[in-house]
Amino acid sequence: MFKEMHDLFQWAWLIPALPFLSFLLIAFVTKRSKGLSSTVSILAILTALGLAIAIGLGIIQSGAELVEHPVIVSANWLNIWGLKIDIGTVVDPLSGMMLFVVALVASMVQIYSLGYMQGDKGWSRYYAYQSLFAFSMLGMVLATNLLQLFIFWELVGLCSYLLIGFWYFKVSAREAAKKAFITTRVGDFGLLLGILFLYNKFETLDFTALSAALSTNLQNVAVVGTVGYVTVMAFLIFMGPMGKSGQFPLHVWLPDAMEGPTPVSALIHAATMVVAGVYLVAKMYFLFEASPVALQFVAGIGAFTAIFAASIAIAQDDIKRILAYSTLSQLGYMVFALGVGAYSASLFHLMTHAFFKALMFLGAGSVIHALHEKQNIWDMGGLWRKMPITGTTFFIGVLAISGVPPFAGFWSKDEILAGAFQNGHPIIYAVGLFTAFLTAFYMSRLFFVAFMGPEKPQNHPHESPLSMTIPLVILACFSAIGGLAALPEHNFSFFIHFGEFEPEAMNWGLAGISVVAGLLGIGFAYYIYVKEAIKAESIAARFPIVYRILNNKYYIDEVYLWLIHHIMDGLGKVLYFIDIYIVDGIINGIALLTRGSAKVLRRTGTGQLQTYAMVFFFAVVVIFMVFAFGEGQLSSLNPLAMLGGVK
């Protein structure tokens, strides 16, 4: 069985290659024909999805054998003195899961875009970018080594940049794209440093080889140095995920990234690219595990981001921004799950979150499409009746993210909280639980305000076309049943786990608590926004400062902007001043000195031949005197003798 599958797994490189081919085709051949471009792109990603499903089934059939021995195919990419890098594909349950999720969401989004992007002038360009993104993301998932991962990591960053700035004529989109790229670049700086130091120490970047080298040498201080060294490495590597997965304090770009088309937000900024950081930490988990300090740090940052972003989401009015902060909060969940050691729970949440968050973003897109680019939830209302499919699927998404059983979010979220509690992190457990409550609250708020309540007369919503609703339905199915992967004997954590596999029984008590938290949140929102038992305005009025701080996202953007405009640009201006007036000034000063001395010395050229003759004569006299009477003293100064020209 495994042998046959092995042959299949070797073809995994086709999965990213197909979208890349489609990118090239669109860019160079079909760019003038809208229909062809989208067809090529969708065909490529659907084929890739088919392959990913085949590989996924193959992985499930191969069972434990593949978990122990991932199938790696690689070829040399760069080979010079002191630096040897391979590039290839690795097939193991983790990459298989990611392949499936990415290919599924990407194909759903591309089909959805047929409806959403209807009539956009940049149609072919959009599908070219989509294909490029699919290529980069799938290539990243299959990476065998850190550098390959970094390469694709940057490429997905590029695609994110291009797609956020897709409507490049909008100033806000252009600024958001720039912000996203630069903020993630700050994280990439650390990641790159980490890669360099790791290669320096272990002479390899291969995940398996690195893991082996680290585990065999962990006791050997001479090779690894101290645990401190490992901790530093882990910190540096973690800077990358902090940028890419929007962890505090590098989270600022993600809400702004909502300037891109909504399907893009669904694909890149909810389901796939932003979880790349979680994926990277999972891939490098052997490094983090070796340093308890680093794990603590990861858990702390994750938990803080989770509650921090959730608190902001409560006070936002833009439907996409609420979802964006919710994404940040859920990413924080995944990250702190890794920090507390709930490895498979984190990745499980990654998968379920991809389903329901993509669903909700696409649903939001459907609403925005129907309301002609209105994004404020207070401009909506009563949409469920007019848009039944969008409304129902969105409701499934809300239930899933709120952790209501049996929807997908319940299983993964519960595993994370149980992991935090059982691994001895009570504070983080409490934070997570409170975040779950907040999540349920703001999600239900969004749902109740936008989909229920009175209709707004100025809106004339209508259900979206089939190309948009079918992806919604498919994703809703996955959001509903995706969590059941936790149930069978060979469940999710059997395939994807770190270290020895220990089957864990469901802790129904803890699960009950988290369900209660979620239901409380929904009920609270119901009371405020449907029953209107307590006026939302009155709460905001009671705590004006809190509301303003939350609404302005803790003023972090303002602080960063101040730093950039005053410190960085100011430094630039000061250095430019120094460059022109000091560095260049010295150069110009030397030039001026030359000119000045020439100006003075040229006075000696009076044009009076008599003066010249007089000077000449007396100079001859002086030289004659010197040679006649000063022979002994001055022969050493004889320039000819110095040159050695006189024998």
Partner 1 sequence: MNLGNLSVGLSTYLLVGAMLFCLGLYGVFAKRNIIAILMSLELMLNAVNINFVAFNRFLWNQKIDIHYILTGNVAALFVIVVAAAEIAVGLALVITIYRNRQSTNVDEFNWLKW
Partner 2 sequence: MSSALPSGGSFLLPFILGAPLLAMFVIVFMPKDETKMIKIIAAMGTFVAMALSLFAFFAYDRSLGGMQFTLTIPWVPDLGVNLAFGVDGLSLPMLLLTNLIGFSSIYASWNMENRAKEFFVLLLILITGVMGTFIARDLFIFFLFYEIVVIPIYIMVIIWGSTKRVSKEYAGMKLTIYLLIGSAFLLVGMVALYLAAAKQGNPTFMFDQLAARQNLYSAPFQKAAFGLMLFGFGSLISMFPFHSWSPDGYAGAPTAVSMIHAGVLKKIGGYGLIRLGVYVLPLGAKYWAPVIAALAIANVLYAAFIALAQKDLKYVIGYSSVSHMGYVLIAIAALNPTSINGAVAMMFAHGVMSALIFSMIGFIYEKTHTRNIPDLGGLAHQMPRLAIGFIIGGMASLGLPSTVNFISEFTIFMGSIRVLPVQAILGIAGIIFTAVYTLRIIANVMFGPRRPEWDQLKDIRGPELVPLIVLGLVIFAAGIFPNILFGLVNSGVTSSGLQKVLETVSQAKMGGLF
Tell me which residues touch partner 2 (CB under 8 A): 76-83, 147, 150-152, 154-155, 158, 161, 165, 168-171, 174-175, 177-178, 181-182, 185-186, 188-189, 192-193, 196-197, 199-200, 568-569, 571-573, 575-576, 579, 583-584, 586-587, 591
3-state percent helix, strand, coil for the chain, nearest multiple of 5: 80, 5, 20
- 155 or 519, CB closer to partner 2? 155
The total number of residues written for the chain in this structure: 647
Q: CA-CA distance, 111 to 471, in Å (whole number)?
A: 7
- The CB-of-617 to partner 1 minimum distance in angstroms stands at 7
8 interface partner picked from partner 2, partner 1, none, CB below 5 to 8 A per type: none
Partner that binds at residue 455, options partner 1, partner 2, none, CB closer than 5 to 8 Å by kind: none
Question: Measured from the CB of residue 82, what is the shortest distance to partner 2 in angstroms?
Answer: 4
Which sign does the torsion angle of CA 423, 426, 432, 433 carry? positive
Minimum CB distance to partner 2, residue 12 (Å): 19
CB of 272 to partner 2, least distance (A): 18
**Cβ atoms 218, 275 nearer than 8 A:** no
586/613 with CB nearer partner 2 = 586
Query: Which of 75, 600 has the CB closer to partner 2?
Result: 75
Question: Cα angle vertex 257, ends 255, 262, to 5°?
Answer: 105
Q: What 8-state DSSP symbol labels residue 219?
A: T
Question: What does 111 bind: partner 2, partner 1, none (CB cut-off 5 to 8 Å by kind)?
Answer: none
Q: Least distance to partner 1 from the beta carbon of 628, Å?
A: 16
How many of the other CB atoms lie within 10 Å of CB of 61?
Answer: 13
- Can you tell me the distance from the alpha carbon of 304 to that of 69, in angstroms, rounded to the nearest whole number? 36
| Conformational region of residue 74, where left means phi above 0, alpha means psi within -120 to 50, and beta covers everything else | beta
Site residue total, partner 1 (CB under 8 A)? 11
At 373 the three-state DSSP class reads coil
Residue closest to 78 by CA, chosen among 70, 88, 69: 88
User: Out of partner 2, partner 1, none, which partner does residue 147 contact, by CB within 5 to 8 A per kind?
Assistant: partner 2
Q: What character string, x for contact with partner 1 (CB under 8 A) and - otherwise, covers 603-622?
A: x-xxxxxx--xx--x-----
Q: In the complex, what is the shortest distance from the CB of residue 625 to partner 1, in angstroms, rounded to a whole number?
A: 16
Which among partner 2, partner 1, none contacts residue 603 (Cβ within 5 to 8 A by kind)?
A: partner 1
Which stretches of 92-171 are assigned E, i.e. beta strand?
Answer: none
Q: Which does 28 bind (CB under 5 to 8 A by kind): partner 2, partner 1, none?
A: none
Measured CA distances, 599 to 271, 443, 595, 603, 632 (Å): 73, 80, 6, 7, 38
542 binds partner 1 (CB under 8 A): no
Query: Which of residues 594 and 638 has its CB atom nearest to partner 1 in the complex?
Result: 594
Q: Which does 186 bind (CB under 5 to 8 A by kind): partner 2, partner 1, none?
A: partner 2
Q: Which does 430 bind (CB under 5 to 8 A by kind): partner 1, partner 2, none?
A: none
Distances (CA, A) of 580 to 566, 577, 587: 20, 5, 10
How near is the Cβ of 613 to partner 1 at its closest, in Å?
Answer: 6
**Which of partner 2, partner 1, none is residue 457 near (CB under 5 to 8 Å by kind)?**
none
Among 222, 602, 639, 640, binds partner 1 (CB under 8 A): 602
Within 13 A of 180's CA, how many CA atoms are on the CB side?
31
CA distances from 345 to 198, 278, 559 (A): 28, 12, 35
Residues that bind partner 1 (CB under 8 A): 602-603, 605-610, 613-614, 617
